[in-house]
Amino acid sequence: MRQIKIGDTNFIGSAIALGIMRMNALTVNEAVKTLETAHDVGINYIDSADVYGHGKSEEIFGQAFKKSLLTRDDFYIQSKTGIYENPDLNYKTTRYDFSQKYIINAVDDILSRMGIDYLDSLLLHRPDALMDPAEIAAAFDELQAAGKVRHFGVSNFNPMQVELLQQGLSQKLLINQLQFSVMHTGPIDFNIHTNMTDERSIDHDRGVLDYSRLHKMTVQAWSPFQYGQIEGNFIGNPKFPEVNAALQKLAYQKGASKNAIAAAWILRHPAKIQVIIGTMNPEHIIDSAKGADIALTAQEWYDIYLAAGNDLP
């Protein structure tokens, strides 16, 4: 498994990480198999969030991790917080809370559910319009001093939001988790369409990918096999015949699955992006993980980009 640096540190993580959002649907024994399979193929990075399965995913992870043959040193474990869920409203309302108290309590709950003593990294899940950098800094300092969190980052933040938060922190933000895939190419489309007036020339993210490269932040690509805002899987989807044909052609040539080629497409970008796969199926984990060791040529990369419905000036 190819390895990448996490931010500007000496921490090395697998190019493909395992996201456990769907682990709440597994039995403990099934989760053990999922985790051990991930480890066997070289994945050493777990991504979670306190809202996954309303906390159930982390509970299943904790039980499975304890039951498995794995040790704490086998995984770099990451979680996210800041999305506020109200069980009294049946979790139907999404709000945010970046207060010091909320962040501290959330991490304690995460550690308890996962059955671990510390997180390797904690990310703020989505921007909070009311975020106060000083209050977040106090929470981060307290968590780091207590040995509960080693590193910090964000998810779905634009560059100015990162700058606003970073200026108040004593820790360097190492990670920004963003949606990016063959069928979600906004972070690069506007660059290709520079000095044009078409829809793809619009920068919706304020150059977040280039900003991350300049500031040595690791970009983690979530939903690498999804289209839209998690509307569904584009792999094998009859709605997208052209891109599936292009992926299948390379899959035959490389002796891999279409999922592996889609992952390799993301990894081909020079930003050294880390891909977060969310499958809980051991066979699919094995298939997708092969993407870390597939090297696409520039023209193969553009073949897929164009087959996904994009155009070039």
Is residue 294 in a domain? no
* Structural Rg of the chain based on CA atoms: 19
Q: What is the pLDDT of residue 193?
A: 87
CA separation for the pair 139, 100 (Å, rounded): 5
User: Would you say residue 206 has pLDDT above 90?
Assistant: no
**pLDDT-derived band at 161, boundaries 50, 70, 90:** very high
Q: Which helix (H) or strand (E) holds 147?
A: none
CA separation for the pair 311, 313 (Å, rounded): 7
Is residue 258 in a domain? no
CA separation for the pair 181, 305 (Å, rounded): 10
CA separation for the pair 120, 218 (Å, rounded): 14
Is residue 302 in a domain? no
Q: Which domain holds residue 198?
A: 3-238+272-279
Q: Which of 31-45, 198-212, 268-282 has the lowest mean pLDDT?
A: 198-212
Q: Which of 54-63, 86-95, 135-144, 152-161 has the lowest mean pLDDT?
A: 86-95
User: What digits encode the pLDDT tens for the residues 180-200?
Assistant: 999 999 999 988 888 788 888
Q: What is the pLDDT of residue 235?
A: 95
Q: What is the pLDDT of residue 109?
A: 98
Is residue 233 in a domain? yes
User: What digits encode the pLDDT tens for the residues 234-252?
Assistant: 999 999 999 999 999 999 9
Is residue 286 in a domain? no
- Are 183 and 189 in contact, with CB atoms under 8 Å apart? no
**What amino acid positions are annotated as catalytic residues?**
52
Question: Tell me, what CATH number does 26's domain have?
Answer: 3.20.20.100
Is residue 291 in a domain? no
Nearest to 50 by CA among 132, 131, 120, 112: 112
SS3 assignment, position 14:
strand
User: Would you say residue 178 has pLDDT above 80?
Assistant: yes
Is residue 301 in a domain? no
Nearest to 151 by CA among 102, 103, 118, 106: 118
CA separation for the pair 118, 190 (Å, rounded): 39
**pLDDT-derived band at 162, boundaries 50, 70, 90:** very high
- Are 226 and 232 in contact, with CB atoms under 8 Å apart? yes
Share of the chain above pLDDT 90, in %: 88
Is residue 169 in a domain? yes
Domain count, the chain: 1
Q: What is the pLDDT of residue 97?
A: 95
